[in-house]
Structure 1
Amino acid sequence: MSSSIYENLGAQSAQFIRAEHRMLIGGRWVEAFSGKTFDVFDPGTGEVVACVPEGEAADIDLAVQAARRAFEAGDWARMKPADRTRLLLRLADLIERHGDELAEIEAVDNGKPLAVARRGIAGTAEMVRYMAGWATKLNGESVNLSVPGEWHAYTTREAVGVVGQIIPWNFPLSMAIWKIAPALTVGCTVVLKPAEQTPLNALRLGQIIQEAGFPDGVVNIVTGFGATAGAALAAHPDVDKVAFTGSTETGKRVIQAALGNLKKVSLELGGKSPVFVFPDANLELATPGAANAIFFNSGQVCSAGSRLFVHKTVFDRVIEGVIEHGNKLKVGHGLDPASQVGPLISRQQKQRVDGYIRQGEEEGARRFGEQRAFDAGGYFVAPTVFVDTTPDMSIYREEIFGPVVCAMPFDDDDLDRIAAEANRTEFGLFAGIWTQKLGLAHKLARRIKAGSVSVNAHMVNEPALPFGGYKQSGWGRERGREVFDLYTSVKSIAINLD
């Protein structure tokens, strides 16, 4: 780490990043079975900042064996729900205690601005606490039977078993906790495969999990590539359930890999989310809200508001405001205290987003947004707004995963037609509505095919609210009470009392 920007790092985070990294398997920190490693890059500079083991199928197999032993025998298998709650609450406290360090690691590993990363740490700890509270409250129910005779019948919820979890690079720590916390709440054991672009905070989290006192083998962390380690985890015959967050294309491959033993699968995939601004909306809130919906985290958000529909009577005012908002955002390295928008995750992602921008201009859309010169070493793209877009354009149809929004005016008062435009996509993850008319908001929300809809806000990050998609945005729901359906199996028991 040669750049002067790293002088802003705290001593603990700098020491961790520079350390010799190992994977966590069965409570031990180990090298890859093959001895191979791969480099980790800071997307804000393009520099190599760390080196981690390149786990493959052999390492996944060892991790699954460790998770199986922990699930079926030992302290974890015998642990009472209240004791799991106490461990999880201790984990939440430790995440907060190490919050500055975790935020700095994420600013280097992922590139997000430090202020954004710090807010994410607080949300991550609260997610753990929310899940911890459920450990003592997940019960079955008694069932009244109609068959002849006298019966006592009831259901129970049981942990599904060993869970393989594959997480993305856009919110490395948050996504790890979204997966790990509910699985541990119900008594599952975990093999986590972090994204190869952002493995560092997952490894630091593994150390904190050990510090919290979780038994060996309950959480195992294997770093490696999706095509090798991820594929081996999804296909492993002794994994009972796989949870994946990432692209729709990769999600389909996870499904195919999971067919061998018909393991349970949950998927949180892509989006092309619509945001509607109606003429009665409070534009002082709606305009920056629509801008943040796409520029937050450099647009690398599955629920990003990448299709912006604005009523023609306020279109010019709103779009000018969104462009102005984007132009004022300070784009820079995550450790720069002034940064509001960080880099894209990799050179490949920058090339992909730049390609969409060029294609949008070639297809006839008009581009707005301040053109800026950035450090050639970082993977930066300035906030970009397209107008004069049409449904046949690639920038309108496809998930770009960058700070690029397509803006379209509408003048229709027919909510069925408005909803049809929102639903004109293979995705169905999120939608935003800005209006002060309560009836309009309720009616349109009912018509939109999406797993989440926010009114006069964008994507409420609340642990109690289920999150997931319709159509090709995925299977199942994370967060909320509903997440436990992913990690438990229901057993029915009927006892003949005659």
Structure 2
Amino acid sequence: MRELYIDGHWSDATTTTGGRAVLNPYDGSTITTVAEAGPDDVDAAVAAARRAFDTGEWPSTSNRDRAAVLRRVADLLVRDRELLARDESVDTGKTLAEGRIDVDDVTGVFRYYASLVETDSGRAVDTGDPNVVSRVVHEPVGVCSLIAPWNYPLLQMCWKLAPALGAGNTTVVKPSELTPLSTVRLVALLAEAGVPAGVVNLVLGAGSVVGAEMVRHPGVDLVSFTGGLATGRRIMAMAAEGVKKVALELGGKNPNVVFADADFDTAVDYALAAGFFHSGQVCSAGARLLVQDEVYEEFVAEFARRAELIRLGNGLRDETECGPLVSAEHRAKVERYIERTIAEGARLVTGGTRPDEPELADGYFLRPTVFADCTAEMTAVREEVFGPVVTVERFTDEAEAVALANDTDYGLAGAVWTGDASRAQRVAGALRHGTVWINDFHPYVPQAEWGGFGNSGVGRELGPSGLDEYREAKHIYQNINPAPMRWFSGARKEA
């Protein structure tokens, strides 16, 4: 078990736990057993990253040369697309098609940051004084702890790594202990692409042990974390002790608003993808469906009918449309939300149970679940369920739709469906969410920032702001024609 990568070498952990089994959510079988790091391994990884930053070549490497490495990584991702997609499918339960999309997306992210870094030359500042040359330049923050979640292990890690490396930082990375496989393969590709020893260090293990040590370690300058709100709050508090920079993406409770004048068939189709893509285990999932009165009953009925037709199964099979949840523990958590939503008075239209098919009995499956007649006070409407559960609320007019959509502690993403272009722009402008789609759901591009308002987190990933998270701005002010100021009398020459 030599899956830790520290200072340019693959090694086993210093702990004696015997490693951690990685399970296939489709049938509960063991895929492999990986090393499990402890505090000493984290300390070694941070020390390697610190040396590589303080005395190594990477921070002072030219933007052009760092961009060339990022492009080589992108090329290797293309070469190993099928291997990485399969890793994602067997590790997370998602379909192979979804895994391929993830690999293609992260390839685009590396290429985007290669181009952005290569063209960055700072900013000239006009001071109004012809004797002054003033410019703002950017430098890397330092050692970055990058912690990714289990639902999109490759994607979320690359959203952090590409800009962090492009900016010249060194890193310690940790995938979720549930889904480490694609990150192990990614780190091998980074080394193959020419990333110097110590610049990327990989540790595996539980967040409560390894992740916590990565956050509070005094040798770390920045922490980037994607995951749950409660963990994000603890990370923010721990990072504050060392006044570390933090970037946190903490999920969402995302409204999908459907007006009566929207194209009915298309809106239903996209609502299915919004709510049930990757079994709803998506931070931007449209799990909160808001439908206007005039079409409410018809929409709920058709939405539920189509949800019942979604084909569950092994993500590696072409016919599978939706895979399992990531673990037995997570499925049990989602089932508790279902039970509570029924107790709180919502109408269960479909789903809410495990599938009956014998071939799915050993996996962590739940049938796509639709609740109607929900209200904003219900637990499943307010909290992130993170499973194949969609709650449906009704609204009467535009003002109520906006009020309901904004009635959340989160603010990651949302969508509006309407045939009225003016209304679309008004509602999109009024929604307090970091991404708003109009007549669409889920797409993102590397060039546009991703992140949220409120409890959805701090900072942004992707876009120019995603690069700035990993840089410090420095103002350099040069007086090109200095002369004595004669400000204080003691500085003046005697007559």
**TM-score normalised by the chain length of structure 1:** 0.93
Report the residue type matching 1:52 in the other structure.
V
Give yes or no for the alignment of 1:95 onto 2:77: yes
What is the alpha-carbon distance in structure 1 between the residues aligned to residue 393 and residue 3 of structure 2? Answer: 49
Q: Which consecutive aligned stretches of 4+ in structure 1 deviate over 6 angstroms post-superposition?
A: none
How far off is 1:74 after superposition?
Answer: 3.2
Gaps of 5+ in 2: 483-495
Deviations 1:256-287 (A, max 9, x none): 11122201000001211001111111122111
How far off is 1:429 after superposition?
Answer: 0.5
* Contact 2:60–2:168 under 8 Å retained in 1: no
Deviations 1:193-247 (A, max 9, x none): 1101001111111111111121111111100110110000011111111100000
* Contact 1:453–1:459 under 8 Å retained in 2: no
Aligned residues between the structures:
476
2:226 equivalent in structure 1: 245
Give yes or no for the alignment of 1:346 onto 2:327: yes
SS in 2 for 1:314: helix
Q: Which of the numbers 244, 249, 260 marks the counterpart of 1:268?
A: 249
1:377 equivalent in structure 2: 362
Report the residue type matching 2:198 in the other structure.
G
1:120 equivalent in structure 2: 102
Q: Which of the numbers 30, 44, 47 marks the counterpart of 2:26?
A: 44
* Contact 2:145–2:172 under 8 Å retained in 1: yes
* Contact 2:52–2:170 under 8 Å retained in 1: yes
1:422 equivalent in structure 2: 405
2:139 equivalent in structure 1: 158
1:194-343 map, 5 Å:
194-343=175-324
1:71 equivalent in structure 2: 53
1:17 equivalent in structure 2: none
Q: Which of the numbers 359, 363, 383 marks the counterpart of 2:344?
A: 363
Report the residue type matching 2:84 in the other structure.
L
Deviations 1:468-496 (A, max 9, x none): 00000001111111111200000112223
1:433 equivalent in structure 2: 416
* Contact 1:111–1:344 under 8 Å retained in 2: yes
How far off is 1:428 after superposition?
Answer: 0.5
1:131-170 map, 5 Å:
131-145=113-127, 150-170=131-151
Gaps of 5+ in 1: 1-19
* Contact 2:78–2:107 under 8 Å retained in 1: yes
SS in 2 for 1:196: coil
Report the residue type matching 2:390 in the other structure.
V
How far off is 1:57 after superposition?
Answer: 1.6
2:488 equivalent in structure 1: none
What is the alpha-carbon distance in structure 1 between the residues aligned to residue 343 and residue 314 of structure 2? Answer: 30
2:88 equivalent in structure 1: 106
What is the alpha-carbon distance in structure 2 between the residues aligned to residue 289 and residue 247 of structure 1? Answer: 25
SS in 1 for 2:472: strand
1:10 equivalent in structure 2: none
SS in 2 for 1:427: coil
What is the alpha-carbon distance in structure 1 between the residues aligned to residue 22 and residue 86 of structure 2? Answer: 15
* Contact 1:35–1:53 under 8 Å retained in 2: no
What is the alpha-carbon distance in structure 2 between the residues aligned to residue 236 and residue 61 of structure 1? Answer: 8
1:14 equivalent in structure 2: none
Report the residue type matching 1:401 in the other structure.
F
CA RMSD of aligned residues (A): 1.4
* Contact 2:376–2:404 under 8 Å retained in 1: no
SS in 1 for 2:223: strand
1:394 equivalent in structure 2: 379
What is the alpha-carbon distance in structure 2 between the residues aligned to residue 69 and residue 137 of structure 1? Answer: 28
How far off is 1:149 after superposition?
Answer: 9.0
What is the alpha-carbon distance in structure 1 between the residues aligned to residue 298 and residue 111 of structure 2? Answer: 42
1:443 equivalent in structure 2: 426
How far off is 1:405 after superposition?
Answer: 0.6
SS in 2 for 1:252: helix
* Contact 1:237–1:260 under 8 Å retained in 2: no
Report the residue type matching 1:96 in the other structure.
V
* Contact 2:59–2:140 under 8 Å retained in 1: no
Report the residue type matching 2:189 in the other structure.
I
Report the residue type matching 1:107 in the other structure.
S
Percent identical residues: 40
